[in-house]
Each structure stands twice: as structure tokens, then as C-alpha cells.
Amino acid sequence: MIHIEKYGAIDIGSNAIRLLISTVTLGDDRIPSFKKTSLVRVPIRLGADVFKEGKISEENTQRMLESMQAFKLLMGVHNIKAYRACATSAMREASNAQYVSKLIREQTGIQIHIIDGKEEASIIAATDLNTFIEDSKVYLYVDVGGGSTEFTIFANGEPTSSHSFKLGTVRTLNDNDGKQTWNEVKSWIKEQTAAYEEVFLIGSGGNINSIYKDANVKIGKPLTYWYLANYYKFLQEFSYEERVLRLGMNQDRADVILPALKIYLSAMKWAEADYVYVPKIGLSDGIIKTLYQEVKANELEVN
């Protein structure tokens, strides 16, 4: 006999807002199976507002509100058991974040949790990341977002250190990253990886997922540093318009993909990593996992 439930995760990022709905199936072995049922992505670039003006514009506030109303309806149709909405870098820095959160809560009932970089990294670590990590290898996990990038070192199968930096694709596009931030990231990576002979990268984020898909490599196989470097040079030969028209990229991907590649390539260079694995997991997956565990823990307490 199996038991099936659905859970929802709303990820309010600096480049886009996503709704992930996952189906959790519990079989006779009592080990839950998580399957992505639906993913809706709305390209509301909150970081373009916040990293320039310090707040979310009225236009994007309205777009957020309408997106949340749509998400609430979709979650109702899917008959989900529970959901959670988490906001990251852009909302963390927006001066009107509390106003926007209150407006959305009052009109949709959705409570937005604005999480810091440490909590964001912790949620991501709750994913199936451990299934991709071998105890005998050392990994630098790099999750590139629009406003921040989370770095985590894994050694002997366990996370040993992590750090969140204000370095992201939208922030870089707006020239809000700063040389000092890049130097801080470089120093941190070099310091954390110096003791290891070989380090492998694990890449997370929409841009690296898109690159991995286009690479047509066998699932589970890593991309090489040289592949990413050559792809970076290739994309630089095209203007933003050409990337959209000639290469068929989505308009909200065609500009941020270059700064994303720059971050991944820099991290690989500083860690002296030749390969990057792309498991296609991220914050939304972590939200689903942690939410499910909390729900089950509460049910046990009640029983």
C-alpha cells in the first residue's frame, strides 16, 4: 500500500520567482520518494529594482502579487498538503520588503519567509545532494543566484564550511558586485580548499542547469572547466539580441548567463577544480524536503 501527498515550494529569487510542486510517495519500505510534478517560473527580476534603487518597484510589487495569487490557485488545484514561500537576496535587501510581504499575506494568505544566506545554504543542503557526494572526494558546492552565491565545502561526505557572498548574476549585470567582493570570494575559496589535493565543483542554479542541458552529456557526467571556458568565449561573440534571436535563449537567461559562467569559472580556477557536476537541485527542492520533514515530525508529536 502506498501513501501519496503533494507539497509546494515558492522560491522568490532576485532573477525569478518559482513555484515547485512535488509529489511525495511513501511505499511499504517507508522511504519517501520525491518527484517534481510541476514547476512554474515567472521572470520577475526583483534584483534589478533592489540593487539599483534599494526597494521593489510598484510595478514589480503588483507582478509579485498577481504571481502569488496564481500560485495559490495552482496549489489549490493540486490539493497540496503544505507549502512554504522563501525569499532570498533581493527581498533581504529591499527597504520595503516588509510592506510587500504584508500586502501579499493580506491579499493571498501566503506568508513569505525572508531567509539569510546561512539558512539558504542549510535548506539547499537538505536536498538529495548527499546522493551525488562520494566520501572519498572533496567538493565545492556553488549555488549561483541573482543576488547572492552560496559556497559550501564537503569533505568525507559532510559539509565542513559554508559562506554566502553578495555576488550574483543580476547584481553583476548592474555593476553592484564590486572588486572587493570578488577578492573576498577568491580568498575564501583558496583558504578552504588549500589543504586538498583535488576538488570537484557541484553547480546549482538555473544557468548551470541550462548549460548542462545544452551540453548533451550523459546524465551524471560532469562538465569540464575547458568546456565552460570555451562556451563562455562562444557566448561573448554574440550580443544579447543575437543570443535571443540566433541562439534561441530566453530573454531573461540571455543576459545573466555570462555573469553566471564567470562565477562558476572563477570558483573552479580558485579551487583548481577541473570538473563540475550538475545534479539539478536547488532551494525549491530543499524547501520541499525540510517542509515534509517538519510536517511528519509534527504528526508524530500529535500522535
- The percent of residues above 70 in pLDDT, for the chain, comes to 99
Reported as a single tens digit per residue, the pLDDT across 117-166 is 888 878 877 777 777 888 899 999 999 999 999 999 999 988 899 899 99
Average pLDDT, the chain: 92
- For 175-282, where are the alpha helices, taking DSSP H only? 179-193, 206-215, 225-236, 240-245, 257-271
State how far the Cα of 178 lies from the Cα of 174, in Å rounded to an integer. 10
Higher pLDDT, 131 or 180: 180
β-pair partners for 149? 144, 165
Name the range with the highest mean pLDDT among 50-54, 218-222, 278-282.
50-54
At 198, the pLDDT band (50, 70, 90 cuts) reads very high
- Average of per-residue pLDDT across 185-210: 95
Lowest-confidence pick of 18-32, 89-103, 259-273: 18-32
Reported as a single tens digit per residue, the pLDDT across 25-58 is 987 777 888 899 999 999 999 999 999 999 999 9
Residue of 212, 211, 262 lying closest to 236 (CA atoms):
262
What ranges do the domains of the chain cover? 3-117+284-302, 128-281
Query: What distances in angstroms separate CA 234 from CA 208, 218, 247, 253, one per listed residue?
Result: 16, 22, 11, 16
- For the chain, where are the alpha helices, taking DSSP H only? 46-53, 58-78, 89-93, 97-108, 117-125, 169-173, 179-193, 206-215, 225-236, 240-245, 257-271, 283-302
| DSSP string covering 125-138 | HTSGGGGG--TTS-
- For residue 27, the model assigns a pLDDT of 77
- For residue 128, the model assigns a pLDDT of 73
3 state DSSP class of 184: helix
State how far the Cα of 46 lies from the Cα of 16, in Å rounded to an integer. 7
How many other C-beta atoms are found inside a 10 Å radius of the C-beta of residue 159?
Answer: 17
State how far the Cα of 236 lies from the Cα of 239, in Å rounded to an integer. 7
* Res 303 pLDDT > 60: no
Phi, psi of 9 (to 5 degrees): -135, 125
Hey, what CATH topology would domain 128-281 get? Nucleotidyltransferase; domain 5 (3.30.420)
- For residue 254, the model assigns a pLDDT of 94
Domains 3-117+284-302 and 128-281 share a fold: yes
CB-CB contact of 212 with 281 (8 Å)? no
State how far the Cα of 150 lies from the Cα of 84, in Å rounded to an integer. 21
Q: In this structure, which CATH number among 3.40.50.150, 1.10.443.10, 3.30.420.40, 3.40.50.720 belongs to the domain 3-117+284-302?
A: 3.30.420.40
- For residue 302, the model assigns a pLDDT of 57
- Average of per-residue pLDDT across 87-97: 94
What nine digits make up the cell of 209? 542547469
Residues 6 or more apart whose CB falls under 8 angstroms from that of 91 comprise: 12, 46, 50, 56, 97, 100, 101, 112, 114
